[in-house]
Amino acid sequence: MRTLARHRGRTALAGLGLVAALTAAGCGSGDTTPAPNSPDRNRAIADAMNAAVQGGIPGVQVVITGPDGQRTLTAGVGDVTTGAPIADNAQVRIGSNTKTFVSTVLLQLVAEGKLDLDAPIERYLPGVVQGSGNDGNKISVRQLLQHTSGLPDYLASANPAATEPPNPAQVQVLRPETRYRQYDSAELVRTAMTMPPQYAPGARSVYTNTNYQLLGMLIEKITGRSAAAEIDARIIGKLGLHDTYFPADGETVIRGPHPRGYQVIDGKQQDYTDLNPSWGGTAGAMVSTGAELNRFFIALMKGDLVPTALLEQMKQTVPFDRMPGAGYGLGLIREANTCGKEIWGHGGSIPGFETRNGVLADGTAITVTVNQLPTDEATDELVVKVVDTAFCAS
């Protein structure tokens, strides 16, 4: 995800899980880099983390899971009042990483012969995608997964510096009256249907959270159970992800040990740990840990969750509007970092937390978590530098 609305042109819950073009320590062409767990490699990551803290991020955690084991690095604080650090097993809101859990369930349903990726969404959810020029007869399930549907986004700008006023129909998630309100997917989709399409289906890819609310509704229609129940049975239970869950209706607190999450609003830092994430729903409501996110993405990329042929379809990408040079597949993002390493993952942002993550070709997975969304481009680049350094040093 990205900040729950447009932040420098990127929409809330946008997947930012990978890297941007920055030069990271020890990554030049022809460089001889030290062993993965060496002090030099950890020091490079720690230096980047400390720079992010000095630049205004309260706390940073890096979890690296690979063939040589797992290590966790932290910097700054998980609680600005007590000074406590982010715990190794800390649960955090993972925002748009939820989308990859949803897409994985849907590809499993394809494998079971219960879903056709190229069928129009109207076949499964008749009458739901209609209004203001939107037409579910012209939008396939694949286009929803890949953000090529052209549908409008139900989320409004949460950036106080935004120059364009939000559409009155859109959900503005940082308002006090919205923070603890319970939404359901059907309501959010109806909100989107009051707005015209952004472009013709299939014309291009523009990240839109409405797509994944519809996909959550699709899971429920096909299986007769909620998307949360299917994610739990098909992924969380299978992998033994004991600290990963989809919040229940009305649930506003994080269940396990967790850092505080902060949001800067009108120039003031506010504790935004507790909120009702139902407006994120199947586009971004889930909770997990860095270690368990790594386990999920490693299992997915190994083919443990989706048959190989369908995993290859998940990896067929189109240009991604949120990350120049990156590609968006079926709930997966592909990016090459400054060391030339190909990374597959997603990432997510929600008020209070941002996670950026991915898996390398050797099976090493990395999740970087911060407990405050970057407030400007300079701070964002400091977080990107942490991600890039961690991948280069692994």
CB 387 within 8 A of CB 370: no
| Degrees to nearest 5, angle at CA 204 with 202 and 207 | 105
Among 65, 130, 103, smallest CA distance to 358 is for: 65
Helix or strand (DSSP H, E) at 144: helix 141-145
Helix 290-302 vs helix 97-111: crossing angle, to nearest 10: 30
Q: How many Å separate Cα 338 from the centre of its chain?
A: 21
List, in sequence order, every residue forming a beta bridge with 353; answer none if it has no partner.
Answer: 350
Q: What are the C-alpha distances in Å from 107 to residues 14, 99, 142, 304, 370?
A: 21, 12, 10, 12, 30
Is 96 annotated in the active site? Answer: yes
Catalytic residue among 96, 103, 157, 278: 96
Euclidean distance between CA atoms 355 and 61, whole angstroms: 9
Chain position carrying tokens 């998630």: 173
CB 273 within 8 A of CB 261: yes
Yes or no: say if 190 and 213 are a contact pair by the CB < 8 Å rule.
no
Given a contact cutoff of 8 angstroms between Cβ atoms, the answer to whether 149 and 117 are in contact is no
Question: How many Cα atoms within 13 Å fall on the side-chain side of residue 237?
Answer: 8
Query: What dihedral do alpha carbons 328, 218, 192, 315 form, nearest 10°?
Result: 0
Mind spelling out the 3-state secondary structure of 213-233?
HHHHHHHHHHHCCCHHHHHHH
| Positive or negative torsion for Cα 375, 58, 34, 361 | negative
End-to-end CA distance of the chain: 24
Query: 279: number of CA atoms within 13 Å, CB side?
Result: 25
Copy the structure tokens of residue 223. Answer: 């299986």
Active-site residue set: 96
